[in-house]
């Protein structure tokens, strides 16, 4: 059975799309191939994103910040999910016309202007919101999410 490919797209590919990629892998990795990318990648994943994922037992050490252009003409996605308004607006049309396109908007942990511990708390909140949305989406797809925590 071929796994459907899911692309999570945001602007910097340093937080939200990385969270979504890692969480979907934990919830339903046997059903999908997960990817994430940015329209303007930052080149690294935020440390608080890595920490928030580590706290719930998800290892994203194999993930890195990359451009959506890495996939142009190379990968056909069954689902393209934008997780920020900028990516929704700036995503190359070829991806938005591919498979099923959805837009889920979440706050950007990269833009939280607070102390380090508060940044982590805000990132945890976004992580949990993304997980909740992914669990709902999987149920819509007829898939029971795995428990990983």
String of b and e for 92-113 (b: at least 16 CB within 10 Å)? eeebeebeebeebebebbbebe
Asked if 91 is an active-site residue, the reply is yes
C-alpha 57/C-alpha 117 separation (Å) is 19
Q: Which of 52, 58, 91, 110 is catalytic?
A: 91
Determine whether 4 is an active site residue: no
DSSP-based three-state secondary structure for 143 = coil
Let me know if 10 is a catalytic residue: yes
Annotated catalytic residue within 9, 10, 26, 98 = 10
Catalytic residue, candidates 83, 84, 87, 110: 84
Exposed/middle/buried for 38, CB within 10 Å: 0-12, 13-18, 19+? buried
Q: Catalytic residue positions?
A: 10, 84, 91
């Amino acid at each position: 059975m071929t796994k459907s490919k899911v692309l999570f797209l945001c602007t910097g590919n340093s937080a939200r799309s990385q969270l979504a990629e890692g969480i979907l892998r934990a919830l339903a990795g046997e059903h999908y191939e997960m990817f994430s990318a940015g329209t303007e990648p930052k080149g690294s994943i935020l440390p608080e994103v890595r920490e928030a994922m580590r706290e719930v037992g998800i290892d994203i050490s194999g993930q890195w910040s990359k451009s959506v252009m890495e996939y142009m003409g190379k990968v056909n996605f069954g689902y393209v999910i934008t997780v920020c308004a900028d990516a929704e607006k700036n995503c190359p049309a070829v991806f938005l016309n591919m498979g099923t396109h959805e837009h889920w908007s979440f706050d950007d942990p990269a833009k939280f202007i607070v102390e380090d511990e508060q940044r982590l708390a805000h990132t945890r909140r976004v992580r949990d919101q993304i997980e909740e949305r992914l669990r709902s989406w999987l149920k819509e797809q007829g898939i029971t999410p795995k428990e990983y925590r």
